Amino acid sequence: MNHPDEENELLSRLEADMGSHSGADAGADVVDLGKARSARTESPDSAARPRPDSSDTGGVDESGQTTARPLVDGPDVAGPGYLGRLAGAKRRAIVPAWLRSKAELKAAASWVARHYAHLAGYHALRSPVYVGRLALQAPRGAARFVGGSLRWIADREGEPVRLAAVRREDVGDYLKLSRQRDGRVRLRTLVVALATLVGTITALALYVLAPGWFQAVSLGALVLALGAAGGHADAPVVHRAVEVTKAPKLTSDIVLRALGALGIAPISQAQAKGRDGFTFTAPITRDGPGWRAEGDLPYGVTVTDVIERRDKLASGLRRPLGCVWPEAVPDEHTGHLVLWVGDQDMTKAKKPKWPLLVSGVVDLFQPVAYGTDQRGRWVEVTLMYIAGVIGAIPRMGKTFLLRLLLLIAALDPRAELHTYDMKGTGDLDPVGNAVSHRHAAGDDDDSIAYTLADFRELREELRRRVKVIRSLPRDICPENKVTSLLADKRSLGLHPIVIGVDECQVLFEHPEHGKEFEEIATDLVKRGPATGIVLLLATQRPDAKSLPTGISANASARWCLKVMGQTENDMVLGTSSYKRGVRATMFAWGDKGIHYFMGEGADARIVASTYVDAPGAETVAVRARQVRQKAGLLTGHALGEAPEQVTGPTYDLLADIVAVVPAAEPKVWSETVAARLAELRPEVYDGWDPEALAAALKPHGISTLQVGRRIDGKVVNRRGIDRSHITTTIAERDGRRDAG
Ligand SMILES: Nc1ncnc2c1ncn2[C@@H]1O[C@H](COP(=O)(O)OP(=O)(O)OP(=O)(O)O)[C@@H](O)[C@H]1O
């Protein structure tokens, strides 16, 4: 039988052959595939070699000239040489990863110890019941023993053969067998007589000589042995103490059976023809608490096709869905499948304890463990230099994940936290109230105003930081970004700022301030990471409205729990993630906290975030607060201080002027502008006169000028503004900002 790749190669050669003839008689060639195949089978590598005869390398055209057929297959020597192959070879780890992990070994050892301690306790408690049951079964055991011995003496096992000889009326055989039986019976009778004698003497000796306890033990052992012999197969005396989860060994047959059941045509067709439909490239091995199989799918089948049918794969493997994790290997071809089958469902498997739950602080510039992968190994995240997006359908663990990340941030005493729980259920309160510089919960007007004021402050802070970084000497700030050392220098004010917003769509969809929130958040996402400002946005409705594309496209860290469709998936995980097989749609409803994590240029990984409930979060936050208190780094909301800007929010004067002066009015008197501004935002502009406006415009480099207006036929000159000056200044400012 030909291998599929050989067949494909053959077909492409035939196509090439047909193509070469097409000039003379296009489409007229009839190719006998059967013959061609058998020719191919006879000479397996002949197709790859250019053949010398002219009929194969070309043809003869009408003018009698030989036409050279372009050779598509190279000469014999193909591919890298020995050294090249060695350089490109993939070395398997000498010590498997799971053996290198001390934590994993420790966990395994303690599981084994606890398992046997449980067994011992369970059976010790039930041992009197076991003894009673065995004693009850002992008479039956004794009867079986006597009956069995008598049958043995009488050579009952030979009886069927003797009867067969009788039926055949074969006198010779019968006599031979009878003689043999007589000899056997004599010998066995002797053995039994001797054993009975020895047994009786031993019993008598024990009765006379042995101490009482020894007699009791011996009698007990005899009764138990007879009890065990008298048992029924369907009524075991000793019951199971542990229902061991049946995690059968993953074999190649099981993998092939499961792949064959996926309904992927090329695999099914190959298997129907007696081939495997999957080529294992490495032996199936233990990998952490599970099995790992690796190999190539048939041509044209991608790992994505398998991931899409994860539920069918689980059915084929006869394992729970949470145990079955097909994955693509990023630097391999798209048909290279790694199948990891865990012993236990990922959601149910016991997770290691999060070390930060009980002790320790964090350096946000360093990676910090926040979850575990399918194999139970820690997955780390570096919260600095990122802008992150968390997306999921409701109730999958989005808020818990955001809170977990904020707890990590809280444990770096330098980090200034701004926490916004727009859902308003108080999920972020443990962090917010303990350590946050700014914190609000709910989507009422006060919370929105508070958040807006803070966002405006953050925008100013971002601008300040950009200037500070630009002004720092190269040797101190070589990469033009905040480093851990720079963050330590309090005089520079470049400490990490971590902003977490749950249900961020509330901000971006706000009828009045939505655009401004979007503008500031986009700026923070784009320029924040380098300046030490980290924005983490969580939403349960990842679409273009709730997560503006300027933000979702620029986020460098993405966490995607279960979502329902391709659009949401790609919105959170990045364009064409779904196509590449990174599909958070495959998570089951019960996969709470399980998500795809993509960050820091790394490929998507499946992670189960550490479960820290509200009391746990409170404990960690209290510890974080104590550390901050000691370092004198507790500020703002955590100290009970109200922000200064809430009652008098900062504003964008230039944008406001453009809003109130339409393009049809190129030049307007200052008093008109002031009146319109006061109408737009009375809390800010009420009481402004032309002088106040002129003073406010001065820092922007804009001065007022004489504007003449015809009133009652006379030209009246007053101070005013030229709208084009305002728009030019805005364009310059925004241009600089974008460029920055
Ligand atoms: N890492 C986790 N491991 C196990 N269970 C979790 C995990 N994270 C969250 N859960 C469970 O999922 C539930 C929902 O979590 P959470 O409130 O974070 O969801 P959500 O996506 O924010 O929901 P909503 O959209 O309603 O705000 C929690 O009550 C918790 O029991």
pTM to 2 decimal places: 0.61
Q: Tell me: do 725 and 629 sit in the same domain.
A: no
pLDDT exceeds cutoff 60 at 23? no
Q: Tell me: do 405 and 283 sit in the same domain.
A: no
Structure-model confidence comparison of residues 684 and 517, the more confident one = 517
Number of H helices, E strands in the chain: 27, 19
In testing the pocket of ligand 1, which one of 592, 607, 613 has its CB within 8 Å of the most ligand atoms?
A: 592
Residue 194 within any structural domain of the chain: yes
279 CA distance to ligand 1 middle (Å): 40
Q: Element (H or E) spanning 663, and its range? A: none
- SS3 track for 519-573: HHHHHHHHHHHHHCEEEEEEECCCCCCCCCHHHHCCCCEEEECCCCCHHHHHHHH
406 CA distance to ligand 1 middle (Å): 15
CA-nearest residue, atom 8 of ligand 1: 397
Q: Tell me: do 480 and 509 sit in the same domain.
A: yes
Residue 91 within any structural domain of the chain: no
pLDDT tens-digit profile of 575-630?
Answer: 888 887 788 988 888 889 999 999 866 678 899 999 999 999 999 999 999 999 99
Is 392 a known ligand-binding residue? yes
498 CA distance to ligand 1 middle (Å): 21
Pocket of ligand 1 (CB under 6 A): 392, 394-400, 423, 540, 592-593, 609, 611
pLDDT tens-digit profile of 642-671?
Answer: 765 444 445 788 888 988 898 888 999 999
Q: Tell me: do 143 and 161 sit in the same domain.
A: yes
pLDDT exceeds cutoff 60 at 18? no
CA-nearest residue, atom 5 of ligand 1: 592
Last residue of a domain, one of 644, 679, 696: 644
Q: Tell me: do 322 and 402 sit in the same domain.
A: no
611 CA distance to ligand 1 middle (Å): 9
Comparing 15-29, 104-118, 471-485, 638-652, the range with the smallest average pLDDT is 15-29
Q: Tell me: do 621 and 716 sit in the same domain.
A: no
Q: Tell me, what's the pLDDT at 70?
A: 61
pLDDT tens-digit profile of 167-203?
Answer: 999 899 899 999 999 999 999 999 999 999 999 999 9
Residue 167 within any structural domain of the chain: yes
Residue 550 within any structural domain of the chain: yes
The CATH code of the domain that includes 541 is 3.40.50.300
258 CA distance to ligand 1 middle (Å): 32
Q: Tell me: do 591 and 463 sit in the same domain.
A: yes
Determine the average pLDDT of the residues in 501-521: 92
Q: Tell me, what's the pLDDT at 678?
A: 86
Determine the average pLDDT of the residues in 244-258: 82
Determine the average pLDDT of the residues in 452-460: 93
Most confident of the following: 406-415, 569-578, 700-709 = 406-415
Q: Tell me: do 624 and 477 sit in the same domain.
A: yes
Residue 348 within any structural domain of the chain: no
pLDDT exceeds cutoff 50 at 34? no
58 CA distance to ligand 1 middle (Å): 69
pLDDT exceeds cutoff 90 at 89? no
121 CA distance to ligand 1 middle (Å): 37
Q: Tell me: do 391 and 315 sit in the same domain.
A: no
User: Mind giving me the DSSP string for 311-344?
Assistant: HHHHHHHTS-GGGEEEEE-TTS-TTEEEEEEESS
Q: Tell me, what's the pLDDT at 650?
A: 57
CA-nearest residue, atom 10 of ligand 1: 397
Query: Which ligand 1 atom minimizes the distance to the CA of 400?
Result: 18
Closest CA to 382 of 403, 361, 360, 367: 367
Q: Tell me: do 428 and 478 sit in the same domain.
A: yes
φ and ψ at residue 211, rounded to 5 degrees: -65, 165
Closest CA to 655 of 733, 578, 583, 711: 733
Structure-model confidence comparison of residues 619 and 695, the more confident one = 619
Is 396 a known ligand-binding residue? yes
**For 479, which DSSP code?**
T
Q: Tell me: do 327 and 459 sit in the same domain.
A: no
Write out the two tokens for 569: 């998936």
pLDDT band for 128, please (50, 70, 90 cuts): very high
Most confident of the following: 329-343, 379-393, 710-724 = 379-393
Spatial contact of 331 and 324, defined as CB atoms under 8 Å apart: no
329: containing domain: 252-342
Distance, in Å, from the CA atom of 703 to the CA atom of 168, rounded to the nearest integer, reads 129
Q: Tell me: do 547 and 677 sit in the same domain.
A: no
Last residue of a domain, one of 342, 367, 386: 342
Angle at 735 between CA 730 and CA 736, to 5 degrees: 105
Q: Tell me, what's the pLDDT at 244?
A: 62
Number of structural domains in the chain: 5
In testing the pocket of ligand 1, which one of 396, 505, 539 has its CB within 8 Å of the most ligand atoms?
A: 396
Distance, in Å, from the CA atom of 337 to the CA atom of 340, rounded to the nearest integer, reads 10
**Pairing of β 368-372 and β 378-381:** antiparallel
Query: Which ligand 1 atom minimizes the distance to the CA of 503?
Result: 27
Residue 245 within any structural domain of the chain: no
pLDDT band for 59, please (50, 70, 90 cuts): very low
CA-nearest residue, atom 20 of ligand 1: 395
Is 393 a known ligand-binding residue? yes
CA-nearest residue, atom 30 of ligand 1: 397
Distance, in Å, from the CA atom of 257 to the CA atom of 277, rounded to the nearest integer, reads 10
Residue 633 within any structural domain of the chain: yes
Is 667 a known ligand-binding residue? no
Is 394 a known ligand-binding residue? yes
Write out the two tokens for 41: 């089978």
Last residue of a domain, one of 342, 376, 396: 342
pLDDT tens-digit profile of 426-440?
Answer: 999 999 999 999 999
Residue 93 within any structural domain of the chain: no
Q: Element (H or E) spanning 706, and its range? A: strand 705-711
705: helix, strand or coil: strand
394 CA distance to ligand 1 middle (Å): 8
